[in-house]
Structure formats: C-alpha cells, structure tokens
Amino acid sequence: MIKKKVCLIGAYAVGKTSLVRQFVSGMFSDNYLSTVGVKIDQRTVVANGQEVRLMVWDLAGSDEFQSVRKSYLQGAAGILYVADGTRAETLDTIRTEREEVMARFPGVPSLLLINKHDLVNEWEVEAKDLARFREEGIEVMSTSARTGEQVAEAFDLLARRMCGGSENETQRLV
C-alpha cells in the first residue's frame, strides 16, 4: 500500500473539516468548530488498481496561522482547494493561496471544490467566476459536505491523479 498526503486549503468556514469528516466517517454536523493548526485523518481508497492510504491534512483557514500553514504543505502529493458557493469572496482566498502553492510546489495535482451545493439556491459563485480557474487548468467540482454529494468522488479523482491517472477523466462539474 502506498501513502499519499492530501492538503485541504481554503478560507475559514468553507467546509474543509466537514468535507473530511464526510469522506472519512460519512458524517456531518452543523456545529462549527474552527480548526486550529492542522487536523490529520486517513482513509484508504483504490486508485488505478492499487490501495492508497490518503493522509488528509485539514489546514486551518485562519490568517493567524498563515506562516505555519505553508510548512504543512511540504510533502503534499495533492491539494483540494475549497471555496464556499454561498460566499464568492472565498474564491479570492483560493486565488492567493493557489499562486503561492504553485510557486513552491509546481505540478502537484489539485482540484477546486465549490462546497455547499445543498445550498445552491443561495450561491453567489457563478460559472463566470470559475472560468479563470478552468483556463489555468484546474478542474472544478461542486460538493456538499452535508449530503455527501461528490465528496468521495473528489477524493477518488484526486487519488487517481496523484497515482498517474488520466487527466481526461470527467466528473460532474459546477
């Protein structure tokens, strides 16, 4: 079995911890607890015919940990950027974070998850807001930590990419 480190990056309260909890345990809670530093969970998946233990690093979204957070990225084999569909400004955080990550860790497979698809009627994020990310080659998926929609699929797709899977695979996009 191989191990791969996956980091979740995004602003506070976009649902990073809820996505991890849904992926690892199949659970969701409405109680919001801000992540302090980093929380590490794991789950084994099958990617390209081999077992892969994903070591999932849920990084704090708070600005006070910015300098420490960068060191947490060392050794990452994949990155899930997470934005909140109900808060368009969370995409600004992703743009900034992604530029810094790409400068330090070029070529690391990544996906952009627009979370809270269960609240799609309240979304501020529109397709035009995601065009720049797509033009830069990052795949965008909608997820819901509450319902589990596209959560396992996002982690599975990233696992396949980290293990040399096809870039032409498609999932239901935003």
Q: List pLDDT tens digits, range 26-58.
A: 887 676 565 555 788 999 999 999 999 999 999
- Give residue 84's pLDDT band: very low, low, confident or very high (50, 70, 90): very high
The answer to whether position 12 is within a domain reads: yes
The answer to whether position 107 is within a domain reads: yes
Q: Are 109 and 79 in contact (CB under 8 A)?
A: yes
Query: What per-residue confidence (pLDDT) applies to 24?
Result: 94
Tens digit of pLDDT for each residue in 96-109?
Answer: 989 989 998 999 99
The answer to whether position 167 is within a domain reads: no
Query: What per-residue confidence (pLDDT) applies to 117?
Result: 97
When the pLDDT of each residue in the chain is averaged and rounded to a whole number, the result is: 87
Residue 173 pLDDT greater than 50, yes or no: no
CATH code where residue 91 lies: 3.40.50.300
Q: Phi/psi at 132 (nearest 5 deg)?
A: -60, -40
Give how many domains the chain has, as a whole number. 1
Residue 64 pLDDT greater than 60, yes or no: no
Q: What is the DSSP letter of 76?
A: -
Cα angle 166, 172, 174 (rounded to 5 degrees) comes to 115
Average pLDDT rounded to a whole number, residues 68-79: 82
Residue 83 and residue 93: Cα distance in Å, rounded? 8
Query: What per-residue confidence (pLDDT) applies to 77?
Result: 97
Residue 94 pLDDT greater than 60, yes or no: yes
54, 66, 57: which is closest to 8 by C-alpha? Answer: 57
Residue listed under structure tokens 């969370």? 90
The answer to whether position 38 is within a domain reads: yes
Average pLDDT rounded to a whole number, residues 75-100: 94
Give Cα 87 distance to the centre of its chain: 16
Domain holding 48, by residue range, is 2-162
Residue 114 pLDDT greater than 70, yes or no: yes
Instruction: Name the packing angle between helices 151-162 and 16-25 (round to 10°).
Output: 90
The answer to whether position 169 is within a domain reads: no
The answer to whether position 173 is within a domain reads: no
